[in-house]
Amino acid sequence: MVAKNELTRRITNTQNSLNNIDNSILLLTPGPNLRYLTDYKAKNLERLTCLAISKDRKPLLVVPELEKLAALGAGIDENIFDLVTWKEGRNPYDLFTNLEIENVFIDEKMTADKVLAFQNIFNKSNFINATKIMTTLRSVKSDYEIEELNNVGKMIDLVHDDMSKIIKPGMTEIEVSKKIGNKILEVGHETVDFVIVASGKNSASPHHEPSNKIIETGDVVVVDIGGTSYSGYCSDSTRTYTIGKPDKEFIKYYEILKSAQESACLAVKKDLSGQQLDNIAREILENNGLGKYFTHRTGHGIGLETHEEPYVVSTNNNQLVSGNAFSIEPGFYIENRFGARIEDIIVKKENGFIRCNDSSRELVEI
């Protein structure tokens, strides 16, 4: 459970972000933004659950009456939030009718029915996407969040550490993915978010869905896995395995990839933009003839979502700052032959970084 002082800090920062915007309110419905500010994993129902934040009022949390006990059981503190319930048959949007608001910031993931209902209530207001406010806040992790990311990173390491016991020649990708999913839960995740098992020629497809292909001796196997912890924070780590001894060409390419990944990780110590960090990994691959086979960005932010700001990509000219958490995951994908990827979660710190994954980045032969 998130400590009271941590939640208070987050709410205060959110209110401060509204300081220069006259007569404004922020409306969040169930999803990562609401959880960030309440630590409440609210159900996304047709019934309205909404957090309303303005700079000069106590945060208002509106929940259906039948969800009140769930909210309190999740730790909603009525000293922090004004918890208001509504009964079946009532229109919950009427709770907002007496507010004269000029600017309404809404969660980008709010469903259309709720957006339209709020537009009907605030029919003279400006509606603004709240993404910039929330990504600015969430992209800089607190010490608590960094600890949670480190913990869940160590959990997913345990799965990769066991991979030589999980993958066996003769199994299908689907069979392996099911065993991996069970292991992800066994080591302490609440949910399995994704399991990519890409063998042989399939390893050249970055987001391959596990299939009935049988894993054979001589195959390269890319395993990209992630889950969510009970605290809501996500893991994401990729390692590449070989079934039996790989050929010399693949070993050569893999060593280049490993150098690109490690160089990018070490460069996080410097003051760089997302674009500059992406370029460090990309240049090493390009200079060694693998650039055209690196077909995606170098990384993505991570936290309460697997993919969030900041992105390590050629279009991100923003400076990476202390507290940013993101993946470093260069790869190469040669169609009809093989592919490889190495991925770690990194947290940038002043003059350094924390690597949340410690499982071997060497090419593991099974």
Domain boundary among 137, 168, 201: 137
Same domain membership, residue 168 and residue 90: no
Same domain membership, residue 159 and residue 105: no
Same domain membership, residue 56 and residue 196: no
Mean pLDDT of the chain: 97
Of 86, 80, 85, 138, give the one whose Cα is nearest residue 108. Answer: 138
How is residue 182 written in tokens? 């069970």
- Residues 6 or more apart in contact with residue 14 via CB below 8 angstroms: 26, 37, 53, 133, 137
Of 154, 304, 308, give the one whose Cα is nearest residue 230. Answer: 304
Rounded distance, CA 58 to CA 51, Å? Answer: 11
Same domain membership, residue 204 and residue 289: yes
Question: Which pLDDT tens digit goes with each residue over 46-94?
Answer: 999 999 999 989 999 999 999 999 999 999 999 999 999 999 999 999 9
Domain boundary among 112, 137, 162: 137
- Asked if the model's pLDDT at residue 343 lies above 90, the reply is yes
CATH, residue 126? 3.40.350.10
CATH, residue 275? 3.90.230.10
Same domain membership, residue 213 and residue 94: no
- Asked if the model's pLDDT at residue 294 lies above 90, the reply is yes
Q: Which domain holds residue 83?
A: 4-137
Same domain membership, residue 321 and residue 306: yes
pLDDT band of residue 1 (cuts 50, 70, 90) is confident
Domain count across the chain:
2
Same domain membership, residue 183 and residue 108: no
Domain boundary among 114, 137, 160: 137
What predicted TM-score, i.e. pTM, was given to this entire model?
0.95
Q: DSSP for 174-191, please give it.
A: HHHHHHHHHHHHHTT-SE
Same domain membership, residue 270 and residue 128: no
Same domain membership, residue 101 and residue 246: no
Same domain membership, residue 218 and residue 343: yes
